[in-house]
Amino acid sequence: MAYEITRPKAAQVDEIAALWHRAWHEGHHEIAPAALVALRDAQSFPARARAE
């Protein structure tokens, strides 16, 4: 099975960001420093999802 990773289309960014935000907090909130957890709010993920 082969996969191709491409940049997300503008219409996909919000959905990707919401999934990433939820998964990041589920996987990191107990082990990451509180300051980093605070920085990873829902508003930080759309920009990161669009980044090159």
pLDDT per residue as tens digits for the range 2-36: 999 888 899 999 999 999 999 999 999 999 999 99
Q: In this predicted structure, what is the pLDDT of residue 21?
A: 97
Model confidence at 52, in pLDDT bands (50, 70, 90)? low
Q: Half-sphere exposure of residue 30, counting CA atoms within 13 Å on the CB side?
A: 3
Higher-scoring residue by pLDDT: 5, 42: 42
Q: What is the mean pLDDT of residues 28-50?
A: 94
- Domain ranges across the chain: 10-50
Contact between 37 and 28 under an 8 Å Cβ cutoff? The reply is: yes
Q: Does residue 45 carry a pLDDT above 70?
A: yes
